Amino acid sequence: MTTIDFAKGHGTHNDFVLVPDLDGALDLTEQQVAHLCNRRGGIGGDGLIRIVRTGKVADAPEGIDPDLWFMDYRNADGSAAEMCGNGTRVFAEYLRTRGLVTDDIFEIGTRAGTKRISTVPDGYAVDLGTWQLAREEDAERRGMDSVVQVVGAPSALPALSIDLGNPHTVVALPTEVSLDQLDLTDAPHVDPRPPHGTNVELVRPIGHGHIAMRVHERGVGETQSCGTGAAAAAIATWWWGNRPQDQLDWTVDVPGGRLGVHLDGQRVALSGPAVIVAEGRVELPIA
Ligand SMILES: N[C@@H](CCC[C@H](N)C(=O)O)C(=O)O
């Protein structure tokens, strides 16, 4: 029987199983990740983060310092994802509270490249890097590039696809559709179908620089929060509003709390809390 150390943490209730693998010896299968993330048979989480040096990660992108701590992120179904915004803060909290990092500003490796993290009064801010419109020509011409059908909305809704390292499809809800009436049990249907799947954010404007959203995450289902999703939602709302240069700071309310997003040209930063709630040892099922 193999048992491993774990910790459990969350960022605005987007929750993760953290697995320290300080010497890079663990090779978790999809089934083992799915088991650990299972809320009944395992620890439970929206995703799993293995804490390992970049140099020990076979599929780490080139160009990341091999000594940097790497956020090896997997979704609850075991699939690997390029990026997790809330995960970066929880990862940072683990590194700092366990003495693996002592600086207030430091870098980590991710499948979407090196990310810079800073401690801020309410937690951490992470520079998510550059964002792209996934289908710029369509977006510039029509203000949208796809349509989304979500249970609870009377008709298909226009949407904008944004790449933040991982894929997002953002829908601005018309005034007659409330966030509460949507049923996100199943993944919303996105047309055209994104080649690698997508996270879908449903957004409602609340005020100046302030939006609320719900999210259905690729590889997970509906979650209480998604950091890269909050960034995508703020970017899309800003972009639809003709990119006002006096509105670069956004507050994004998610079911699990509140996140901050700062836009800076083609770059975007995310801020919010991070909490470690438990740690222990858990038995790993045979792969
Ligand atoms: N919750 C995360 C995003 C996690 C990855 C996502 N499900 C994907 O597959 O891209 C966040 O806070 O950004």
41-65 pLDDT per residue, tens:
999 999 999 999 999 999 999 999 9
Q: What is the tens place of the pLDDT at every residue in 130-162? A: 999 999 999 999 999 999 999 999 999 999 999
Length of the chain (residues): 287
CA of 217 to the centre of ligand 1 (A): 6
Residues 235 and 110 in one domain: no
Pocket residues: Cβ below 6 A from ligand 1: 14, 47, 75, 81, 84-87, 166, 199, 217-220, 226-229
Q: Kindly report the CA angle at 271 between 10 and 169, in degrees rounded to 5?
A: 85
Q: Is 37 a catalytic residue?
A: no
Complex ipTM above 0.95? yes
- Residue ranges with strand state E in 174-220: 189-191, 199-207, 210-217
> Does residue 70 share a domain with residue 107?
yes
C-alpha distances (whole Å) from 86 to each of 9, 107, 189, 222 are 10, 15, 25, 15
| pLDDT value, residue 98 | 98
Q: Which atom of ligand 1 is nearest to the CA of 168?
A: 10
242 labelled binding-site residue: no
| Coil, helix or strand at residue 92 | helix
Residues of the chain with pLDDT > 90, as a percent, come to: 98
Strand partners, 105: 118
Q: Is 228 annotated as a binding residue?
A: yes
49 and 147 assigned to the same domain: no
Q: Same domain, yes or no, for 124 and 149?
A: no
The answer to whether residues 18 and 119 belong to one domain is yes
Do 45 and 90 lie in one domain? The reply is yes
Q: Which of 28, 128, 226, 232 is catalytic?
A: 226
For the beta carbon of residue 120, count every other beta carbon within 10 angstroms.
15
pLDDT at residue 248, as a whole number: 98
Residue 189 pLDDT grade (very low, low, confident, very high; cuts 50, 70, 90)? very high
Range of the domain at 82: 2-128+273-284
DSSP-assigned beta bridge partners for residue 124: 119, 272
> Given the CA of residue 86, which atom of ligand 1 is nearest to it?
12
Q: Name 175's Cβ contacts closer than 8 Å, sequence gap at least 6.
A: none
Judge whether 227 is annotated as a binding position.
Answer: yes
Tell me whether residue 84 is one of the annotated catalytic residues.
Answer: yes
Do 88 and 194 fall into the same domain? no
Q: Given this model, what pLDDT does residue 286 score?
A: 82
- pLDDT score, position 63: 97
pTM, full prediction: 0.97
Question: Do 156 and 110 share a domain, yes or no?
Answer: no
Co-location of 162 and 112 in the same domain: no
3-state SS assignment for residue 81: coil
Q: pLDDT digit string (tens) for 10-50? A: 999 999 999 999 999 999 999 999 999 999 999 999 999 99
For residues 118 and 136, state if they share a domain: no
CATH code of residue 232: 3.10.310.10
Cα of 259 from ligand 1 centre, angstroms: 15
DSSP 183: B
Q: Is there a single domain that holds both residue 259 and residue 150? A: yes
Domain count, the chain: 2
In this structure, are 124 and 137 located in the same domain? no
